[in-house]
Amino acid sequence: MDFAQSLRLIAPEFILSVGGLVLLLAAAWMGDKASRAISIASVAVLAAAAAFTASVLGSGAMGADTQAFFGQMRADAFAAFAKLLIFAAAAACLMIAPRFFDRWKAMRAEYPVLILFAVLGMSIMVSAGDLMTLYIGLEMNSLAAYVLAAFLRVDSRSEEAGLKYFVLGALASGILLYGMSLTYGFTGTTSFAGIRAALASGLSTGALFGVIFVFAGLAFKIAAVPFHMWTPDVYEGAPTPVTTFFATAPKVAAVALLMRVALDAFGAQSDAWRQIVIFAALASIVVGALGAIGQTNIKRLLAYSSINNVGFILVGLAAATPGGASAMLVYLAIYVAMTIGSFVAVLMLRDAEGNQVELIDDMAGLSRTSPGIAWCLALLMFSVAGIPPLLGFFAKLVVFQAAVDAGMIALAVIAIAGSVIGAFYYLKVVKVMFFDDPADKVKGANDWAHWALLIVSTLVISPLGYLLTGWLGTLADTASAALFLAA
């Protein structure tokens, strides 16, 4: 192995590591007064890592030349696609955090550093080529996430969210470790390539249980039913910038990791895990849709929306084809834009004292009191619901098309029916904003960063976003090809 070549391949992770350590020292020396400067520096670190990653995706890197440290990590186009989404989401979450935490006088210098180390863990996750690397990246991300969930110490809801996330995350980690140990015991290797080769000749009962437990552990990370129970409480209790982060970057990393494990390590036995994925997909679509209907808190509603969207993403995984993988990546990119826009709009809902407005009833008549926010949020809700001509419709279309192409017509039909049910609660939010008498609760002013992110997100999911679909589809196809070549 060429050690220098391996170091070149992990340049984004190296940048994140060094940048995180330097900024950690800066936070210790300069204190909380430097929190804004450290946040800006963190965005610069993410931009530098993204510059190296973009060249990998642009070149369509794949094959043996992308393997680092004896195959422990893979710096291929698939990993690059996921990393760029993660870096973009993390940068957006850093931009919106200071205004929120300043209201509580709780903006601390370690916040952007925790984001950087969480991103480092996610970057390792999506590049993992071995179960050991997978677990190291996942735990690095999780340890930072537990602290972020409980970051707002003056709010008991944040403390509760952090505790719930930690306890259930530890349970999921144990389940995943048990599945990894079974997989190693029955295949004799932790390498994804080795596991695939060992399972090519058949799947023993013990190995099947290993697959099931690994999928269960990863299902918790993506908040798929029946491992979704933590999502509404954590999303509601965590500070809203942290919730925005949880709903975007870690979701992309966990889905990409699941794709890597399912289509690479366990790709030779797709028929064995397809039933699990189909159940999780349909259950997530139904539970996400029905669970959101009775919600009165906008953050809890978006939590169930996240569960619902995971179900649609898993439809592409059930196809277990390059087309299905490409459709999942397209959906993830559009999902990140819709989710960032939705949560930024929620962050902009403030009363006269600057307190967050989270109840849906308090958004009544928003179109008359804050028309800019109301129209942007309405377009985002329509897009998440999958209503044409907005880009959310295209996201659902590509995963349904992938399922049909794979001969899974029944799955596509049931998923389409589920999307119709889910449209109800999105339309409910629009109805409250445009047709109810004004509650006159939203009065707070907002800064340029929030408006910039909201407008950009809205433009991306608008019909103008279709101008990007050819380019996005090409990149997704390239990333998908790299994943299947590795397999």
CB 380 within 8 A of CB 345: yes
Is residue 487 pLDDT above 60, yes or no? no
Distance between CA atoms of residues 109 and 198, nearest Å = 48
Average pLDDT, the chain: 87
Is residue 25 pLDDT above 90, yes or no? yes
CB 373 within 8 A of CB 346: no
Is residue 486 pLDDT above 60, yes or no? no
Segment 273-294 shows an average pLDDT of: 89
CB 32 within 8 A of CB 107: yes
How many angstroms separate the Cα of 33 from the Cα of each of 39, 110, 226, 376? 11, 11, 43, 34
pLDDT single digits (tens) 57-80: 877 667 777 787 887 888 888 999
Distance between CA atoms of residues 160 and 83, nearest Å = 30
How many angstroms separate the Cα of 299 from the Cα of each of 174, 238, 241, 310, 344? 29, 10, 11, 17, 11
pLDDT single digits (tens) 428-472: 888 888 888 877 777 767 778 888 989 999 999 888 888 888 888
Bridge partners (DSSP) of residue 67 are: 74
The secondary structure of residue 389, as a DSSP letter, is T
- What integer pLDDT is reported at residue 283 of this predicted model? 92
Q: Is the pTM of this model over 0.95?
A: no
Helices (H), 370-467: 371-384, 391-405, 409-435, 448-461
CB 118 within 8 A of CB 246: no
Size of the chain, expressed as the number of residues it contains: 487
- What integer pLDDT is reported at residue 401 of this predicted model? 92
Q: pLDDT-based confidence at 418, cuts 50/70/90?
A: confident
- What integer pLDDT is reported at residue 1 of this predicted model? 52
| The pair of three-digit structure tokens given for residue 446, joined into one six-digit string | 């907002």
Q: How far is CA 426 from the centre of its chain?
A: 20
